[in-house]
Amino acid sequence: MLLARLTEACGAPGQESEIRDLIRAEIAPYADEIKTDALGNLIAFKNPHASGPKVMLAAHMDEVALMIVGIEKNGYLKFRPLGGIDPRVLVAKTVVIGDKKIFGVIGSKPIHLQRPEERNKAFSLRELAIDIGVKSKEEAEKLVKLGDAAYFTTKYEEIGKNKIKAKALDDRVGCALAIRLLQEKVSFPLAVAFTVQEEVGLRGAGVAAYQVEPDLALILEGTTASDVPGTDQHKQATSVGKGPAVTIMDRTVIAHPPLVRKLLELAREKNIPAQIRRTTTGGTDAGRIQLAKEGAKVAVIAVPCRYIHSAVSLMSKDDFEAAYQLVKAYLQYLEKEGK
């Protein structure tokens, strides 16, 4: 399954080559032109010389990961996060490191050796290390190097009622949507950008949009679902199982109001479940795409995912399908408007 292969592939910010190669192979039959720019964005074009509004779909390839920043005398590896990761979720997680996929375990002082005051607080990054089963710095240096990325080892699996658990659903779910939507028949110019370095500052999207110069852009994301224990209902950004979330505003963007209204109107007309993202925290590539060159009309359509930026996330296959149907309906609307 495509989403399984996408989530199990590796691609840290700035180190997206593995996931980029996988996506390129998937989209080659459906694109008229494909390019990779200097930053590493993968951009596919359909009908590049046609008339009509220039539409851009965007999804980021990179995932949160860890970077090796030190090798201790005893062979343990010190690391720092690539993207926003809560250190509390890291203890005892398994990882693979670098191109060789060296296996490791994130270790800490075991509870029976901790002082009472240590048991009452979470470990900091300084107190964690990756154990790759060697005894010395010299042994470790034969296997890994500074700057290598470490990735969670979570496998894609379908669980419960139409649910999926996997790593990197933020934003491989958006990549899967973009690949599928690229297969739709449209007559207007369509660019599909698989962007880089979103997790460390939305860096690739602005570069991609500068090249494409879209009239409008739809950003396809996996967003936080806060329908979890301990979160007040009014603070829940999105809920799993209620359809894709359409953003009104976040810390990086105010989505184009007529575009948002049209998406919600189409959802009602087509009986597609959809929800409004109910908080304004976080940000997406929309913030950079909206401001590129002369600017673009943007909207964000996101699949709600619980526990993002951790070793494992959970989403609904029904939400994924509804997101696909909603964006497809909008592309069909544009097709009719242009005739």
> Which tens digits make up the pLDDT trace of 306-337?
999 999 999 999 999 999 999 999 999 999 88
Q: What are 138-187's pLDDT values in tens digits?
A: 999 999 999 999 999 999 999 999 999 999 999 999 999 999 999 999 99
Residue 236: pLDDT over 70: no
Least confident range from 12-16, 84-88, 166-170, 230-234: namely 230-234
Q: Which residue out of 198, 221, 294, 335 is catalytically annotated?
A: 198
> How distant, in Å, are the alpha carbons of 26, 91, 92, 132, 181 from that of 124?
40, 10, 14, 20, 42
In the residue annotation, 198 being an active-site residue is answered as: yes
CB-CB contact of 168 with 4 (8 Å): no
Q: Residues with Cβ < 8 Å from 262, sequence gap 6 or more?
A: 330, 333
Share above pLDDT 70 across residues of the chain, in percent, rounded to a whole number? 93
CA dihedral 79, 84, 86, 89 (to 10 degrees): -80
290 forms beta bridges with none
Residue 71 confidence (pLDDT) above 50: yes
Share of the chain above pLDDT 90, in %: 86
- Torsion over CA: 28, 34, 40, 41 (sign): negative
Is 229's pLDDT higher than 80?
no
How confident is the model over 120-124, as a mean pLDDT? 73
Closest CA to 325 of 257, 276, 271, 262: 271
Mean pLDDT of 236-248: 92
Band the pLDDT of 339: cuts 50, 70, 90. very low
List, in order, residues 6 or more apart from 317 with CB less than 8 Å away.
158, 162, 163, 164
Confidence of residue 95 (pLDDT cuts 50, 70, 90): very high
Are 196 and 203 in contact by the 8 Å Cβ rule? The answer is: yes
Is the per-residue pLDDT at 109 higher than 60? no
Query: Which residue in the block uniquely carries the two structure tokens 């109001």?
Result: 257
d(CA 62, CA 78): 22
Give dist(CA 226, CA 21) in Å, integer: 33
Residue 20 to residues 29, 34, 153, 164, Cα–Cα distance (Å): 15, 12, 19, 23
**Mean confidence (pLDDT) of the chain:** 93
Domains of the chain with CATH codes? 2-63+167-337 (3.40.630.10), 65-152 (2.40.30.40)
Q: Span 113-142, mean pLDDT?
A: 83
Average pLDDT of the segment spanning 57-79: 97
pLDDT at 313: 96
- Model confidence at 136, pLDDT cuts 50, 70, 90, reads very high
Calculate the dihedral angle through the C-alpha atoms of 175, 180, 182, 183, rounding to the nearest 10 degrees.
Answer: 160
Q: How confident is the model at residue 112 (pLDDT cuts 50, 70, 90)?
A: low
The pLDDT tens digits of the residues spanning 270-285 come to 999 999 999 888 899 9
The pLDDT score that the predictor gives to residue 1 is: 87
Average pLDDT over residues 118-125: 72
Query: 193-218: per-residue pLDDT in tens?
Result: 999 999 999 999 999 999 999 999 99
Report pLDDT for 117.
60
